[in-house]
Structure 1
Amino acid sequence: MNRLIALAVLAATAAATPALADLAVGSKAPDFTAPAYLAGKPFTFNMTAARKKGPVVMYFFPSAYTGGCNLEAHLFSEAADDFKAQGATLIGITAGKVERLAEFSADTATCGGKFPVAADPGAKIAKSYDSPMKMAGIKAPVDLSARTSYVIAPDGTVLLAYDNLKADDHVNQTLGALKAWKAKQKK
């Protein structure tokens, strides 16, 4: 009986495991434009323009207004000033519930207007970053992104690709990689 319970838990955990085929560190990150919102106001996010200002910290999340995604957005919003202090542009990207992104971007329980979120209908941007959600047992692609964070240098080089369904360590991983890169730049 305990073995059946353990197998059921293992199967449920694996059912929504994201793919681990993110862009490799050292590869070139694709440029893109996407409709985005900052504090509820629409604009077009342009990766090329963002990189001209400095490094970009970009995180994909499966869907607005879900438990893990709300937590992750809130944690990034709490650290937004730390990313700015490092000269980085911070952006979240999702294919899920894109019709609610204006609200999500301004909500104090999530982004709090501190960084933009971009819409990725059909997970096209996520797919270009090798970060679409893969679900075990489902042959057709799911049009959501995995929970994957990237740090991208101004020249477009991927400095970090961090893929973890748990939302609580993405800020630490990205901020740590950004600080390490900045320290190397000072030498």
Structure 2
Amino acid sequence: MSERLKPGDTAPAFTLPDADGNEVSLADHAGRKTIVYFYPAALTPGCTKQACDFTDNLDVLAAAGYDVIGVSPDKPEKLAKFREKESLKVTLVGDPSKAVLEEYGAFGEKKMYGKTVTGVIRSTIVVDEKGKVEHAWYNVRATGHVAKLLKDLKIES
């Protein structure tokens, strides 16, 4: 199981394909705060709710100086379907090898319906302008997470 990130840690660099197969790197966002959120699977109810919440608040987050990147183990084709079906505006990238998920501590053992399973741990990491972890939340809930995030980051919606 990978280590969880803590505030002050250097955020692991990554370059992953987006829904169109274009490469998206964390380095592309240097100089801006970036919210990197990890979710289990595109086109599932909880992940859809969370992605829609991020899309609905994208303008508010952007105005406050934040970019948003959603990471799942899905392939670009599935991400494209997800984006089209739900009219998502948030940048979605795929990590089928789960290497980035593991580097961020967002893949490992978790409880699901009372059983211990291995999978994606729904997590949100806020990376500052210099590439350092500013906040790290693990085992977040899909519903209501973006509202809580806005409150924790003191962003008026």
With structure 2 as the length reference, what TM-score do the two structures score? 0.84
Give the Cα separation in 2 of the matches to 1:150 and 1:173.
14
Give the Cα separation in 2 of the matches to 1:119 and 1:177.
27
Deviations 1:72-109 (A, max 9, x none): 1111111111111012111100014654101112333x
Match of 2:28 in 1: 49
Flag structure 1 segments of 5+ consecutive residues without an equivalent.
1-18, 181-187
Give the Cα separation in 1 of the matches to 2:58 and 2:72.
18
1:145–1:91 Cα change, 3 Å: same
Give the Cα separation in 2 of the matches to 1:101 and 1:130.
22
Match of 1:134 in 2: 109
Percent of aligned positions that are identical: 28
More strand as a share of residues: 2
Deviation at 1:42, TM superposition (A): 3.6
1:93 aligns with 2:71: yes
1:32 aligns with 2:14: yes
1:107–1:147 Cα change, 3 Å: same
1:59 aligns with 2:34: no
Query: How many correspondences in the alignment?
Result: 151
CA RMSD of aligned residues (A): 2.3
1:163–1:169 Cα change, 3 Å: farther
Deviation at 1:148, TM superposition (A): 0.1
With structure 1 as the length reference, what TM-score do the two structures score? 0.71
Greater C-alpha radius of gyration: 1
More helix as a share of residues: 1
Deviations 1:86-134 (A, max 9, x none): 12111100014654101112333xxx23111000112111101111041
The one-letter code matched in structure 2 to 1:51 is: A
Match of 1:78 in 2: 56
1:145 aligns with 2:135: no
Give the Cα separation in 2 of the matches to 1:64 and 1:97.
10
The one-letter code matched in structure 1 to 2:9 is: S
Give the Cα separation in 2 of the matches to 1:153 and 1:162.
15
Deviations 1:17-72 (A, max 9, x none): xx8952011111011100012xxx442111011123x0101100001111111111
Match of 1:166 in 2: 141
Give the Cα separation in 2 of the matches to 1:107 and 1:51.
30
